[in-house]
Amino acid sequence: MSLQKFDTVIDRMERAFDYAMNLGQPIDAIKVLYSMNAQLPDDMQLDMEDIESESMVKQFISEYKPQLKSLILEYRQRLMNF
Protein backbone atom coordinates (compact mmCIF):
# COMPACT_ATOMS: atom_id res chain seq x y z
CA MET A 1 0.00 0.00 0.00
CA SER A 2 1.28 3.46 -0.81
CA LEU A 3 1.78 6.09 1.86
CA GLN A 4 -0.88 8.30 0.31
CA LYS A 5 -3.46 5.52 0.24
CA PHE A 6 -2.62 4.48 3.81
CA ASP A 7 -2.95 8.07 5.03
CA THR A 8 -6.32 8.42 3.29
CA VAL A 9 -7.67 5.20 4.81
CA ILE A 10 -6.39 5.98 8.30
CA ASP A 11 -7.69 9.56 8.13
CA ARG A 12 -11.17 8.29 7.29
CA MET A 13 -11.02 5.77 10.10
CA GLU A 14 -9.83 8.39 12.60
CA ARG A 15 -12.77 10.60 11.63
CA ALA A 16 -15.14 7.62 11.99
CA PHE A 17 -13.66 6.90 15.43
CA ASP A 18 -14.10 10.52 16.55
CA TYR A 19 -17.63 10.60 15.13
CA ALA A 20 -18.63 7.43 17.00
CA MET A 21 -17.15 8.73 20.24
CA ASN A 22 -18.89 12.10 19.85
CA LEU A 23 -22.20 10.30 19.32
CA GLY A 24 -21.64 8.27 22.48
CA GLN A 25 -21.17 5.00 20.61
CA PRO A 26 -17.92 3.62 22.03
CA ILE A 27 -18.62 0.08 20.80
CA ASP A 28 -18.66 1.40 17.22
CA ALA A 29 -15.47 3.33 17.98
CA ILE A 30 -13.82 0.10 19.10
CA LYS A 31 -14.84 -1.56 15.84
CA VAL A 32 -13.01 1.25 14.05
CA LEU A 33 -9.91 0.58 16.16
CA TYR A 34 -10.04 -3.08 15.11
CA SER A 35 -10.28 -1.96 11.47
CA MET A 36 -7.36 0.42 11.86
CA ASN A 37 -5.29 -2.37 13.38
CA ALA A 38 -6.15 -4.58 10.40
CA GLN A 39 -4.63 -1.99 8.04
CA LEU A 40 -1.21 -2.57 9.57
CA PRO A 41 1.07 -5.38 8.36
CA ASP A 42 0.75 -8.62 10.30
CA ASP A 43 4.07 -8.11 12.08
CA MET A 44 2.90 -4.77 13.49
CA GLN A 45 -0.68 -5.55 14.48
CA LEU A 46 -1.73 -5.42 18.10
CA ASP A 47 -3.15 -8.53 19.70
CA MET A 48 -6.34 -6.84 20.85
CA GLU A 49 -8.47 -8.51 23.48
CA ASP A 50 -12.17 -9.06 22.98
CA ILE A 51 -14.55 -6.90 24.95
CA GLU A 52 -16.34 -9.00 27.52
CA SER A 53 -18.53 -6.27 29.01
CA GLU A 54 -19.42 -2.65 28.44
CA SER A 55 -17.53 -1.71 31.59
CA MET A 56 -14.30 -2.57 29.74
CA VAL A 57 -14.94 -0.15 26.87
CA LYS A 58 -13.19 2.92 28.30
CA GLN A 59 -10.24 0.83 29.45
CA PHE A 60 -9.97 -0.81 26.02
CA ILE A 61 -9.93 2.55 24.24
CA SER A 62 -7.47 4.16 26.66
CA GLU A 63 -5.14 1.16 26.36
CA TYR A 64 -5.20 0.48 22.63
CA LYS A 65 -5.78 3.89 21.01
CA PRO A 66 -2.34 5.31 21.98
CA GLN A 67 -0.57 2.07 21.08
CA LEU A 68 -2.31 1.97 17.73
CA LYS A 69 -1.46 5.61 17.04
CA SER A 70 2.21 4.87 17.72
CA LEU A 71 2.19 1.85 15.40
CA ILE A 72 0.51 3.87 12.66
CA LEU A 73 3.26 6.48 12.88
CA GLU A 74 5.89 3.74 12.79
CA TYR A 75 4.30 2.16 9.71
CA ARG A 76 4.11 5.57 8.00
CA GLN A 77 7.86 5.89 8.56
CA ARG A 78 8.35 2.47 7.03
CA LEU A 79 6.28 3.45 3.98
CA MET A 80 8.21 6.71 3.55
CA ASN A 81 11.48 4.79 3.44
CA PHE A 82 10.32 2.59 0.56
What pLDDT sits at residue 55? Answer: 86
What pLDDT sits at residue 41? Answer: 96
Please name which of 57, 70, 62, 79 lies closest in space to residue 7, comparing C-alpha atoms. Answer: 79
- Distance between CA atoms of residues 48 and 60, nearest Å: 9
Q: What is the pLDDT along the chain (82 residues), one digit of tens a residue?
A: 899 999 999 999 999 999 999 999 999 999 999 999 999 999 999 999 888 888 899 999 999 999 999 999 999 999 999 7
- 58-82 core/surface letters (b: 16 or more CB in 10 A; e: else): eebbeebbeebeebbeebeeeeeee
pTM for this prediction? 0.92
Rounded to 10°, the helix 3-22/26-38 angle is 170
